[in-house]
Amino acid sequence: MINYIIRRIFYMIPTLIIISMISFAVIQLPPGDYLTTKIAQLQAQDELINVDLIEALREEYGLDQPIYVQYGKWVWNILHGDFGYSWEWQRPVEEVIGERILLTAIISFTAMFMIYLLAIPVGIFSATHKYSVADYLITIVAFVGLALPNFLLALLLLFIGYVVFDVSLVGLFSSEFANAPWSVAKVGDLLKHLWIPVIVVGTTSTAGRLRVMRGNLLDELNKPYVMAARAKGLSEVKLLLKYPVRMALNPLISGLSILLPQMISGATITAVVLGLPTTGPMLLGALRSQDVYLAGAFILLLCTLTVISTLLSDILLAWSDPRIQYE
């Protein structure tokens, strides 16, 4: 087991190198660079453009060098803890993204927690009460949840909050805390606002996983080993949890690794609609203006998160299912 984990961590290194290369190249794929965007903006404002100044800036930013040199410098600096400089924000990348990564992680992990906390028990109930009124109700709600796009749900919640309760649910903080330093009161304020994005981000996945849980469990419930357990005299709840449920959980465990990137990318649209200070909108902006180091840092961090969560879910699965071999 230990060997397996060490080997898997070792495999993460080439994966991340390849991801960093591809993402760096993809960010630069659109014609032009950050300065072209900048020039277009200035031209739109009828400002005079000094050609010498542009050349000087291009040199300063290293944009005149071939892409592999730019990539090499970028990676070299990251290895030394320097993620580069965001041209658009005029600040080092670490400073710009630090808090946003934290807030994104808080929303994503809370949502994941909620997804599994709801989907597993409700899925079990739905499967064991197949074709009952409650099962049909759950099924209907789940399908609506699956079909409803995140942004629409966000708008609906905002609308209901505004019209019915006369509160603005935009953002993650009340205005007085938005730019305040972290404090207990600010954390409390965050918790007050957190549930909206968590519901918005988590609904689709909750509904999906609920259906997966129900379907898996229905497959398992008729297996002979369940009947064998029943023939031993175990109570229904006990045998259900020990045998078929444990078996039906496996696809949900392996699904953990896909969930995290899904939630982060799904959260982008939600964050734009809800005005959340998370990574999504900022990454979108950085990609549009070709703010290379900011976009690159985001993508690299999110990919690292994905690779780590894949590893974690694999380890969890190997631990829960003895049939999985470590060789």
Binding site for other proteins (CB under 8 A): 222-225, 227-236, 242-243, 246-247, 320-323
Q: How far is the CB of 143 from other proteins (least distance, A)?
A: 23
3-class state of residue 232 by DSSP: coil
CB atoms within 10 A of CB 316: 15
3-class state of residue 92 by DSSP: strand
Q: How far is the CB of 208 from other proteins (least distance, A)?
A: 24
For other proteins, give the closer residue by CB, 7 or 246: 246
CB 93, CB 83: distance < 8 Å: yes
For other proteins, give the closer residue by CB, 187 or 237: 237
Q: How far is the CB of 223 from other proteins (least distance, A)?
A: 6
Closest among 12, 31, 1, 19 to 290, alpha carbons compared: 31
For other proteins, give the closer residue by CB, 138 or 221: 221
Q: How far is the CB of 229 from other proteins (least distance, A)?
A: 7
Q: How far is the CB of 244 from other proteins (least distance, A)?
A: 9
Contacts of 89 (CB under 8 A, 6+ apart): 96, 291, 294
CB 209, CB 119: distance < 8 Å: yes
| Cα 155 to Cα 170: distance, rounded to the nearest angstrom | 10
For other proteins, give the closer residue by CB, 247 or 263: 247
For other proteins, give the closer residue by CB, 179 or 325: 325
- Please state, in angstroms and as integers, the Cα–Cα distance from residue 79 to each residue in 73, 87, 128, following that order: 10, 21, 53
